[in-house]
């Protein structure tokens, strides 16, 4: 199993922390998992404190969405059901299946890449079944049920994004064979987790890591401290990312169609070209901007 590789807070892209494996044992009860790492959602084990944590997290994020989250996310977030308690995965799956043919499945926590890719390729999104402790309210190291559900599931109701996620899983199964998982992990990181989309109303977040974060949602869309550059697949795959702070660079797509189409071709030659370029020019540091690169400026909220 790959280990995380830290360098001044910048991940060299060795392992995707969003779904990969770390150097310590993952949190969660893996004894209950099936061979494909899925498990029943142990709903009766949630305590009233667990539901309260979900309710507070949901409420805090919901208030922040207008003007910062993309419309597709905002219009679908109610599909998670009542914010009063942790949803039953089966209920969400029922609605999701009707909308885009996806389902959510419970998992005990982080799962190996191969298992993760296989589930996505089968239009099944793994959702961690435990929720953070109250003392982890502002920050939890590993994804929990709130991150996985609130951050990821609403956009799975969007047909184009749903297809992108399935294609990503299929590509991941292939990338493992090509020893290119780290390059593909960067694509996941900079789109599914930390993606920004340009809309006529301004920049908006669509990445789950942003949308489930109390602080990064505003930072990603409005902070002058971050760079926002146009989505470019090979540039993105050469770019390191931050794992222990807000991102220094965000990649901006024009539409989900653009994202799907840019990533639809076979990546085999892409991986080769990216590796060749890295061998000559090195990787791109988080926060760096290249000469001639299209950058997006933030539109600051009007002062009242």
Cα gap 262→184, rounded to integer Å? 13
CB closer to Fe ion, 110 vs 286: 110
Residue 18 or 41 with smaller CB distance to Fe ion: 18
Minimum distance between the CB of residue 127 and Fe ion, rounded to whole angstroms?
A: 10
Q: What's the closest the beta carbon of residue 207 comes to Fe ion, in angstroms?
A: 9
Quote the DSSP letter at residue 68.
Answer: T
Give the integer Cα–Cα distance in Å for 87 and 279: 47
- Residue 39 pairs in a beta bridge with 106
135-154 residues near Fe ion, rule: CB under 5 A? 143
**How many CB atoms are closer than 10 A to CB 98?**
9
Question: Among 11, 18, 38, 166, which residue sits at the site for Fe ion (rule: CB under 5 A)?
Answer: 18
Instruction: Calculate the alpha carbon distances from 188 to 61, 64, 222, 268, 304 in Å.
Output: 22, 24, 22, 17, 38
Minimum distance from residue 190 beta carbon to Fe ion (Å):
13
Nearer to Fe ion, 171 or 271 (CB): 171
In this chain, which stretch among 89-97, 98-106, 200-208, 240-248 interacts with Fe ion, using CB under 5 A? 200-208
Q: Catalytic: 193?
A: yes
Name, in order, each residue with C-beta under 8 angstroms of 297's C-beta and a sequence gap of 6 or more.
228
Cα gap 295→227, rounded to integer Å: 7
Q: Which of 140, 165, 208, 274 lies at the binding interface for Fe ion (CB under 5 A)?
A: 208
In total, the chain counts a number of residues equal to 304
C-alpha angle 126-129-134 in degrees, rounded to nearest 5: 130
Facing residues of 124 across strands?
103
**Of 72, 113, 212, 213, which one is the catalytic site residue?**
212
Instruction: Tell me which residues in 52-91 interact with Fe ion (CB under 5 A).
Output: none
Q: Which residues contact 113 (CB under 8 A, 6 or more apart)?
A: 16, 19, 20, 21, 172, 176, 181
- Give the active site residue among 72, 113, 152, 182: 152
Kindly identify the residues of this chain, within the stretch 221-260, that bind Fe ion according to CB under 5 A: none
Minimum CB separation of residue 212 from Fe ion in Å reads 8
Angle between helices 181-188 and 159-177 (to 10 degrees): 160
Q: Which residue, judged by CB position, is nearest to Fe ion in the bound state?
A: 18
Asked if 71 and 149 touch (Cβ cutoff 8 Å), the reply is no
CB of 19 to Fe ion, least distance (A): 7
Task: Compare residues 165 and 208 and give the one whose CB is closer to Fe ion.
Answer: 208
Min CB(302)–Fe ion separation in Å: 32
212 tagged catalytic: yes
DSSP H helices, 132-267, are 145-146, 159-177, 181-188, 208-211, 216-222, 233-237, 256-262
Active site amino acids: 147, 152, 193, 212
Interface residues toward Fe ion, by CB under 5 A? 18, 143, 208
């Amino acid at each position: 199993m790959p280990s995380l590789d830290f360098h001044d807070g910048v991940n060299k892209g060795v392992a995707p922390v969003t779904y990969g494996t770390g150097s310590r044992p993952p949190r969660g009860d893996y004894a209950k998992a099936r061979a494909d790492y899925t498990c029943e959602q142990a709903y009766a084990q949630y305590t009233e404190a667990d539901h309260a944590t979900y309710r507070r997290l949901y409420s805090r994020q919901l208030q922040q969405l207008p003007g910062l989250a993309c419309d597709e996310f905002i219009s679908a977030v109610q599909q998670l059901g009542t914010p009063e308690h942790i949803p039953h995965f089966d209920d969400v799956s029922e609605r999701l299946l009707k909308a885009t043919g996806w389902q959510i499945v419970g998992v005990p926590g982080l799962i190996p890449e191969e298992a993760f890719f296989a589930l996505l390729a089968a239009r099944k999104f793994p959702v961690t079944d435990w929720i953070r402790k109250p003392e982890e309210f502002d920050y939890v190291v590993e994804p929990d049920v709130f991150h996985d559900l609130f951050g990821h599931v609403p956009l799975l109701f969007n047909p184009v994004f749903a297809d992108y996620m399935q294609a990503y899983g299929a590509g991941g199964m292939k990338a493992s064979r090509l020893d290119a998982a780290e390059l593909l992990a960067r694509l996941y990181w900079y789109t599914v987790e930390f993606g920004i989309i340009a809309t006529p109303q301004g920049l908006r977040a669509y990445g789950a890591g942003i949308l489930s974060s109390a602080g990064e949602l505003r930072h990603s869309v409005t902070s002058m401290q971050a760079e926002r550059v146009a989505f470019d697949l090979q540039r993105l795959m050469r770019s390191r990312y931050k794992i222990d702070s807000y991102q220094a660079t965000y990649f901006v797509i024009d539409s989900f169609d653009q994202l799907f189409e840019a990533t639809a071709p076979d990546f085999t030659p892409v991986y080769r070209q990216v590796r060749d370029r890295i061998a000559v020019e090195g990787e791109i540091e988080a926060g760096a901007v290249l000469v001639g690169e299209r950058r997006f400026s933030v539109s600051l909220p009007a002062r009242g």
